[in-house]
């Protein structure tokens, strides 16, 4: 009997802590370890499978958000797993060994719901692509290839991203697509708020008027095209943390007004803060992926097996996300509910009994 994608995804969905092929084989009446390994080594699962499975679940909104970020699957103790490379992990706050996965999440802001719709695996040794290249590719697919079941394109108005992606290569491309973007920049990012001086200073050193605090500051980011200006906001979240966020909302509003189209809202500090809150949805997706699907738990060495495992894990998240919404519960509660009958049975008739000396 041949192993199928459904079999492997069902294993990832059902298992609670151990996601190895050995564990699968030990608890399967149909498959041995070698057969499972051969299946994953030969299968060619593509990221497009995620869209094929999630597009029917998405409740689209014209004011939707498209979110981009990356996460690192921790392989800090591995030495021979392919795809593993040293890279910065925001969760760990240090450089670790791991597999980088760049994801794209769609958010319906009215419902507060979100869906993972695409991903890429960071493997520059094979495809020579940077993480910015992967985001650019996924953006292009979202703009032209991703069609909802009725055939209409996926609607979204705003793109949100991490500071790694607020780059010269990516931001003008989003701008050219007539989409608004909000993205954080590092406090030492060089910007110029005095066009006549042409002197670029770290964002954290700029002086702010009361009006600029609420409406933003018009700045030129160093190394960007000469006449390409953005709106910069300073957002103090606490006495120890201040974020700097840039947006092209003013550029898009001006362009649409000139074309006689309904303009987008002028940028304000409130809108920038709202964008920062929405952007955390992708962090939630990454956390759920790691804690409920075993996406980072595969111990196989071959790159193809790792790629297929990651694709299956994302498909499992898509399924859990849909079921959790139907049951009006969280993904965590849904996954843990699989142990309810086991717990009831063990408390009634323990397999291993407790005893005291």
**Residue 91, pLDDT score:** 76
Could you say which DSSP state residue 355 is in? Answer: -
DSSP string, 221-248: ETTS-TT-EEEEEEEEEETTEEEEEEE-
Could you say which DSSP state residue 15 is in? Answer: -
**Residue 260, pLDDT score:** 85
Determine contact, residues 294/311, Cβ cutoff 8 Å: no
For the purposes of burial, counting CB atoms within 10 Å of the CB of 207, is it exposed (0-12), middle (13-18) or buried (19 or more)? exposed
Question: From CA 281, how far away is CA 287, in angstroms rounded?
Answer: 10
The dotted CATH code for 44-292 is 3.90.350.10
Q: pTM for this structure? A: 0.94
Dihedral sign from CA coordinates of 196, 202, 206, 211: positive
**Residue 110, pLDDT score:** 96
Per-residue tens of pLDDT for the chain, all 357 residues? 799 999 999 999 999 999 999 999 999 999 999 999 999 999 999 999 999 999 999 999 999 999 999 999 999 888 899 999 999 887 778 888 999 999 999 999 999 999 999 999 999 999 999 999 999 999 999 999 999 999 999 999 999 999 999 999 899 999 999 999 999 999 999 999 987 778 999 999 999 999 999 999 999 999 998 889 999 999 998 888 899 999 999 999 988 888 888 777 889 999 999 999 999 999 999 999 999 999 999 999 999 999 999 999 999 999 999 999 999 999 999 999 999 999 999 999 999 999 998
Could you say which DSSP state residue 185 is in? Answer: E
């Amino acid at each position: 009997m041949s192993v199928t994608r459904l079999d492997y995804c069902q294993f990832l969905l059902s298992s609670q802590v151990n996601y190895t092929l050995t564990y699968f084989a030990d608890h399967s009446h149909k498959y041995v370890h070698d057969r499972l390994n051969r299946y994953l080594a030969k299968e060619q699962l593509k990221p497009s499978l995620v869209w094929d499975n999630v597009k029917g679940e998405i409740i689209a909104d014209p004011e939707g958000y498209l979110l981009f970020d990356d996460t690192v699957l921790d392989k800090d103790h591995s030495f021979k797993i392919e795809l593993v490379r040293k890279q910065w992990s925001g969760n760990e706050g240090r450089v670790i060994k791991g597999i980088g996965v760049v994801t794209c999440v769609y958010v319906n802001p009215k419902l507060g719901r979100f869906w993972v719709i695409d991903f890429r695996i960071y493997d520059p040794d094979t495809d020579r692509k940077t993480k910015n290249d992967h985001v650019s590719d996924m953006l292009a697919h979202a703009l032209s290839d991703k069609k909802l079941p009725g055939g209409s394109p996926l609607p979204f108005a705003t793109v949100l991203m991490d500071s790694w992606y607020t780059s010269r290569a990516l931001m003008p491309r989003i701008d050219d697509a007539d989409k608004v973007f909000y993205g954080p920049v590092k406090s030492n990012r060089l910007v110029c708020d005095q066009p006549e001086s042409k002197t670029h200073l770290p964002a954290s050193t700029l002086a702010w008027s009361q009006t600029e605090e609420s409406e933003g500051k018009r700045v030129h980011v160093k190394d960007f095209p000469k006449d390409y200006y953005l709106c910069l906001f300073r957002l103090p979240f606490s006495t120890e943390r201040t974020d700097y966020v840039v947006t092209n909302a003013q550029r898009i509003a001006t362009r649409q007004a000139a074309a006689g189209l309904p303009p987008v809202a002028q940028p304000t500090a409130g809108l920038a803060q709202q964008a920062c809150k929405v952007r955390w949805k992708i962090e939630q997706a990454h956390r759920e992926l790691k804690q409920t699907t075993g996406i980072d738990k595969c111990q196989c060495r071959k790159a193809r097996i790792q790629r297929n495992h990651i694709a299956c894990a994302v498909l499992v998240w898509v399924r859990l996300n849909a079921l959790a919404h139907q049951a009006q519960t969280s993904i965590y509660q849904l996954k843990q509910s699989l142990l309810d009958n086991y717990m009831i049975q063990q408390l009634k008739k323990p397999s291993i009994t407790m005893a005291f000396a």
